[in-house]
Structure 1
Amino acid sequence: MSLTLADARIVTPDGVHEGWLTIEDGRITHVGHGAAPRPGHSLGGRHVVPGFVDLHNHGGAGGSFPSGEQEGARDAVALHQRHGTTTMMASLVTDTPERLARAVASLAELCDDGLLAGIHLEGPYLARARCGAHDPELLREPSPAEFAGLVEAGRGHLRMLTIAAELPGALDVIRAAAAAGVIAALGHSEAGYERTLAGIEAGATVATHLYNAMPQLGHRAPGPIAALLQDERVTVELINDGVHVHPAMLRLACAVAGAGRVAMVTDSISATGLSDGEYLLGPMRVRVLDGVARLAEGGSIAGSTLTMDVAFRRAVQELGLSLPEASATTSLTPARALGLADRVGSIAVGKHADLVVLSGDLEVAGVMRRGDWVTEP
């Protein structure tokens, strides 16, 4: 079946142009300028951007990926798809070895179905002093044997591991991850500048939510932030929700790393899309008030209730990014980090027809995934 979307303002890495595109069998087959050569579905001059790609997501709509429960995971995916996320990682949190292995094995089945792009282990190899919303009693030193077992449980779907580079054995596990095709991400760490560089040299290529859960920038002790920002091999995650990071620091990261290395993420939890109240993030109890999630005991920020469409809109309206730059941070750059840029992340011939139609004020008006409407404009 062929579908032409006409009268669109198409956002590509090269700019924004008035035009049209054709979709066949779930893929983009033509992208043209001006009037469509045949009648099609008119988008009335609205913007079309590629579907969002979220590297770091713990759930939504009451579903929590760390639980490993498939029904809840499907609810979470459906919520985020309605907000434009067409490619999503399922992020877990620190837990016992047994519960982590069960959750990885369960979510791998949803990866088999194409619902998820992969599984992200945020923990358990994190610094106690920077563990945030992770249970400090369940943290442990990096274990190549445990990690190998989790890779096996994931059957090729374990795609990312967040690890603190300063922990004993961390560099060995980073090397093992790289050898297994798993992205090593540095975060929840007390590492200084030099140790962070050592982690990058060992094979780490992502910074887990830059600025959060790590030592801050200092003019005599630059710390991990300077190392992660300046290294061209590293994609830096940013949580652009107006809570986790001040807009000035977000703009600084975008200025230094550029849209080609910044990946907006949600770090969303099961409360996303729901009202304030109490929720679980793995084994930890979380209280959400005015949309801000914090641990019920201690008050540490515990993920977010952010969706990617809001992150995109804030990138344009609060950070001053152009539409192509904002699109890169929410689609193409994270797709490259995952090694999926040949299939998703931009509007181009041959790629999946993963599209978000945006109104004039950048609100979601329609979402398409693999050529099928999730919500039709």
Structure 2
Amino acid sequence: MDSRTVALIRTTFKAVAAEEGGSETLARSFYSILFTDYPGVRDFFPAAMDAQRDRLVHAISYALDRLEEPDKLLPFLAQLGRDHRKYGVQPAHYVAVANSLKSAIRGCVGDEMWTDEVAAAWDEGLANISGAMIGAADKETSPAAWTATVVECREVLRNLSIVRVQLEHPMEYAAGQYISVQVPSRPRMWRYLSPANPANSNGEIEFHIRSVLGGWVSPAIVSHTTVGDQWLLGAPLGGLGVPRNTKRKMLMIGCGTGIAPLRAQIMAMAQRRVNPKVHLFVGGHHPCDLYDLQVLSQLAVANKWLTVTPVTEHEENPWWYYDSGEPQVELPGLEPRMTGQIGKVVAAFGPWADRDVQIVGSPSMVQTTKFRLMAAGTQAKSIRHDPLF
């Protein structure tokens, strides 16, 4: 696409997003048109659409921001195309989505702004996006979805569980990627979870799940998962990872269950002969949120290239956390725990100019940490994180 086409697409989308409540209006209008004009498509979506509407706008925005960066956009679209096979999506469904999205945007911006040139630009942009997704899906030979059986569910905190599943067929994924998951109690509500271990020939995956207040899926997983449950898993997504033979040192920053994809990468690196130095900052609100320090301690002791610094915002645990009263055992291989907001703590070390940076956590944590690092002198091109939706 030429720059004129990209500019027209972005201008009309931003005109909608700039209005108060514009993004929500667009999402509601899109799904209303889609389900009215193509009623058969409704069966692909969950009954509750709140999260789905938010995800739609974020995904569109993410793609539009990268229209002139095919090296970043095309791999993302290819992954999405492979992942959407789990729904049973066919090329005709992409046409339905494109038509409905154009109608929704036209309704939001009005006929005065929606010129023939703008319509043609959107036709070209959506055709390129859907073409990339369809092409990747057609070339894929792996299963559309994997069946997995829960073999262990362990409560770590009252709102956090570790779940291990056994895949019916092994899945090839890169350490650091994430996977869409559907659980029995929430049909058609797919949620993204990051494996906390590298792929293995036994098809065993460990997930760390925190119950999100007001969420539909995570509370159901934490509260109701039992051994023997059958889960469905989609194709792996995401671009985090440490290339083999890289000489660049790494800075990894993870909060809460965001430690999972970072831990998986470190475990994968531990199987290599040579690695660059890695400094991992693992954060939480309270000391009890650092639930995986035992494993990280073992990894740090066994791998001298790894430095692990725990960080908490508060010195003490919350009132609801049961403390046995036993003295805390100091874990070997770990740096002394620091107190403060993790982005601020990490940025205080300096610009980290010699490091490639990965940040994993909530969207607000990722954005705040990224801005603090950039303010400290870290180059934006050195910072990586997954799409924030």
Same fold (TM over 0.5): no
- Structure with greater helix share of residues: 2
- TM-score normalised by L of structure 2: 0.26
Structure with larger RCO (C-alpha < 8 A, sep 6+): 1
Rg larger for: 2
TM-score, L = length of structure 1: 0.27
